[in-house]
Amino acid sequence: MAKVVRHIEEGHRSIPVVQCNCNREVECWDFTNTCECDADYNFAGQRLAPRSQWGEETGEHWSECY
């Protein structure tokens, strides 16, 4: 998991803000959250595999998961 640097509190949700490997901060509001360097993170702040690998085991294309 990426380093969580803080949380944004919104109602009943606590949104993690992670520090990407490129040192930018990424707010993880949605199912998929993309840094300016194209690294993707999920809503829990976990770094996702490169999009070229998305759906390999199921035959899906990454655009179907985004």
CA dist 10 → 14, 16, 18, 54, 61 (Å): 6, 11, 17, 30, 32
- What pTM did the predictor assign? 0.76
Tens-place pLDDT, residues 17-55: 999 999 999 999 999 999 999 999 999 999 999 888 877
